[in-house]
Amino acid sequence: MSDLEAHSNIFEQTSTHMPKTTFRSWLIGRPLSTADAPHQTIGKLIGLAVFSSDALSSVAYGPQEILFILIAAGTGVLSYSFPITVAIVILLAILTFSYEQTIHAYPGGGGAYIVARDNLGILPAQVAGASLLSDYVLTVSVSISSGVAQIVSAFPNLYPYRVELAVGFILFVMMINLRGVKESGIIFAIPTYFFLVMMVVTGVIGIIRYLAGNLGTVVNPPSIEVGVLQPVTLFMLLRAFANGTSSVTGVEAISNGITAFKEPRSKNAGKTLLWMASILGVLLLMVAFLGVHIGALPSDNETVISQIARTVYNGQGLMYLLMIAATTVILVMAANTAFADFPRLGALHAVDGFLPRQFAFRGSRLVYSYGIVALAVIASSLVIYFKANVSLLIPLYAIGVFLSFTLSQFGMARRWWKSGHLKPDMEIQEVGSILRYDKGWKYKMIINGFGAICTFIVMIVFAITKFKDGAYIVIFLIPTMVSIFVLIHRHYKRIAEQLSLENQKYTKRISRNRVIMPIAGVHRGSLNALSYAKNLSDDVTAVHISIDEKETEKVKNKWLIWGDGTRLVILNSPYRLFIEPLLNYIDSMDEIRRKDELITIVVPQFVPKQPMAGLLHARTADTLRKALLNRRNIVITEVPYQVD
């Protein structure tokens, strides 16, 4: 306790109230105390499952999307998919080294949003944030839809129910994430590593059989319809490359979620990133290699992974089913990466005042519940609209994340430039980190600068080649989101200015409180409210709206006996209106009110024990509150009177 607090009227207590056990706590787990937060962090092995499932699962659809573009020139050019995949792996390496530097420079997490905010400004930060938020929504939609496609490949009869399956999986992942980061990580770790084992086993067996010369080609490949063959052009190859870059869209996830790792956070997160990139690169090359040599064809009816597994295991036996099951599960789990990062990024925006404040509130399990639920709702809407079709969703996918990649890398390059121009003993406290002199600033600036140029080129290629296929939606969506962010921020800023205590003088006490108490009759409830009103002020006026003369006469007679000399105003209402005459009377009192006066409306309110009985009574206080909420110096107080 500070000296100032010790000599003040400020006291601090800790509530001993424990949340009750409800159906909600049974569903997502018992509420966690704020003190439990340090125990909810995760290690590298669990972190790989939580933050890498998106990137690792992309091997199930990334290589296939390359083939979807190349098939337009005929099956003879499908072999181009392997060198295109090599180029994508090189891009992955560039991004990995760049983001590894980001992790150590910004141990508090936040990724592209924080980097852009500290080094490029507020507007670029909002662009980066909008890009990532939209990408996380698409990550859920694409990965879940792709997982359902794996199921449909093995069980074609389920094709008509693919949308329902996809939405069901999204809700399942949402519920798991509402249970907390640590618990969801443990749950998702087993299927993630099961997928890795099955992919490695399948790939190794496939390569051994290829080297032995008995791998063969896919039996009964899916039928495809190709119209007039197109020539192989640079534009086609660029389109194929752009489609394949969806495989690297999860690289930034770890840098956004550093705070979820155990200490030392940066070191653990950095190692996890290197593990993820190495595994992803190997798996991409392996799938592309086997896909080319077995003659796999791109199809909505059977995935490339299914064709590879069917060929490697000579049919749809147990190992094939295990491979399909592992791929399906990892694709569903891939949505978990977005569910881990979207709420964290949304919370950062909310703290900065660019999203509703509710996004920064932690739920009972210490996760950002509003962000988790919002992500599930938006992603489900996309799945329903696009009918869980991966090929329709992919064009919307990568342009946003590559825009955030570019802003992040340019921001890091500028950070190193600023670092290089500091004196060795200087420190600058920025919002997201501490800036110090770094003797290797030139080397690091070159790495991030080169990464920014590469991702910028990929973004432009993607925007041009996929514009007509749906990329135009994201190109217009991101500025729209940024505009909404700015409007929300202006609202919060305007409210903060009006509530600011800067240059605020001591507020004088209210000189007079005019109390107006509407009554329908004279009874115990109204007298209870009158007693309260007279404690507030000596200036109390009871108001009765006269609709029935006989009832009004009864009110007058009773008031003379029980009103304790309090003033009663009768407002005759020839059109049998209640609220309007009362509001007109309040308006007339408000017009003669001085600036240092206050008007308080005291409303007697019956509170029956049976909730349904409440429907039988008018909620006058609620109606007045809605009508007068925007009026200055008018207070509505409800005085409850409990009845059986």
- Tell me the per-residue pLDDT of 43-53, one tens digit each, with 9 for 90 and over: 888 888 777 87
Beta partners for residue 639, in sequence order: 604
At 501, is the secondary structure helix, strand, or coil? coil
For residue 6, the model assigns a pLDDT of 53
302: pLDDT strictly greater than 70: yes
Per-domain residue ranges for the chain?
36-221+230-494, 512-643
Structure tokens at 606: 């019956």
* Token output for 9: 């009227």
544 strand-pairing partners: 570
Q: What DSSP designation does 177 have?
A: H
Residue 631 has pLDDT above 80, yes or no: no
- For residue 507, the model assigns a pLDDT of 59
- pLDDT in the model for residue 54: 77
Q: In this structure, are residues 341 and 249 in contact, taking their beta carbons and an 8 Å threshold?
A: no
DSSP tally for the chain: helices H, then strands E: 22, 7
Report pLDDT digits (tens) over 551-593. Answer: 889 989 999 999 988 999 998 888 777 788 888 888 888 888 8
Residue holding tokens 């980190």?
433
> Looking at domain 512-643, does it have CATH number 3.40.50.620?
yes
In which residue are the tokens 């600023």 written? 418
What is the pLDDT averaged over residues 613-641? 72
Are 67 and 306 contacting, i.e. CB atoms less than 8 angstroms apart? no
What DSSP line would sit under 325-343, residue for residue? HHHHHHHHHHHHHHHHHHH
Percent share of the chain, pLDDT over 90: 21
Q: Which residue has the higher pLDDT, 219 or 187?
A: 219
Higher-confidence residue of 186 and 549: namely 549
Confidence (pLDDT) at 183: 60
Fold exhibited by the domain 36-221+230-494: Amino acid/polyamine transporter I (1.20.1740)
Compute the mean pLDDT over every residue in the chain, rounded to the nearest whole number.
82
CA–CA distances in Å: residue 143 to residues 244, 276, 329, 379, 501: 14, 17, 10, 11, 49
Residue 245 to residue 544: CA distance in whole angstroms:
73
What φ, ψ does residue 20 adopt, rounded to 5°?
Answer: -75, 155
What is the rounded average pLDDT of the residues 175-180?
A: 78
Is the per-residue pLDDT at 515 higher than 60? yes
Rg (the chain; Cα; Å): 32
Cα(283)–Cα(474) distance, integer angstroms? 29
Which pair of structure tokens corresponds to residue 169? Answer: 């999986």
Q: Is the pLDDT of residue 25 over 80?
A: no
* DSSP assigned state of 471: I
Q: How many CB atoms lie within 10 A of CB 439?
A: 9
Q: Which position has the higher pLDDT, 463 or 534? A: 534
For residue 523, the SS3 value is coil
Q: Please give the average per-residue pLDDT across 8-15, as a whole number.
A: 57
Kindly report whether the peptide bond that precedes residue 264 is cis, defined as omega within 30 degrees of 0.
yes
pLDDT of residue 30: 58
On the question of pLDDT at 269 being above 60, the answer is: yes
How far is it, in rounded angstroms, from Cα 67 to Cα 307? 13
Q: What is the predicted pLDDT for the residue at 607?
A: 73
Rounded Cα distance, 514 and 534, in Å: 10
Q: Is the model's pLDDT at 182 over the cut of 70?
A: no
Q: Which residue has the higher pLDDT, 335 or 349?
A: 349
Of 21 and 602, the one with more pLDDT? 602
Nearest C-alpha neighbor of 516 from the set 545, 543, 534, 556:
543
Q: What is the mean pLDDT of residues 163-176?
A: 89
Q: Do domains 36-221+230-494 and 512-643 have the same CATH topology?
A: no
Average pLDDT rounded to a whole number, residues 470-488: 88
Give the lowest-confidence range in 80-94, 111-125, 126-140, 249-263: 249-263
CB-count burial class (<10 Å; 0-12, 13-18, 19+) for 424: exposed
**pLDDT for the residue numbered 34:** 47
> How much is the pLDDT for 37?
47
State the average pLDDT over residues 291-306.
86
Residue type, 457: I
- What local confidence, expressed as pLDDT, does residue 277 receive? 92
| H-state helical runs in 352-389 | 369-385
Confidence of residue 28 (pLDDT cuts 50, 70, 90): low
Q: Above pLDDT 70, what percent of the chain? A: 86
Residues 284 and 247 sit within 8 Å (Cβ to Cβ): yes
Angle, in degrees to the nearest 10, between helices 44-57 and 318-351: 100
Nearest Cα to 166, choosing from 374, 387, 371, 336? 387
- Of 155, 435, 496, 185, give the one whose Cα is nearest residue 302: 155
Residue 339 near residue 207, CB atoms below 8 Å: no
- Give the model's confidence band at 20: pLDDT under 50 very low, under 70 low, under 90 confident, else very high: low
Contact predicate 366/180, CB 8 Å:
yes
Indicate the DSSP class of residue 470.
I
Convert the pLDDT of each residue in 599-614 to its tens digit. Answer: 898 888 877 766 655 5
DSSP 198: H
**636 SS3 class:** strand
Closest listed residue to residue 170, CA positions, set 198, 138, 192: 138
Quote the CA–CA distance of 232 and 80 in Å, as a whole number: 10
Q: Is 603 in a helix, a strand, or coil?
A: strand
11, 228, 236, 244, 529 from 231: Cα distances, Å: 79, 10, 9, 20, 86
> Please, what is the Cα angle at 465 between 461 and 468, to 5 degrees?
140
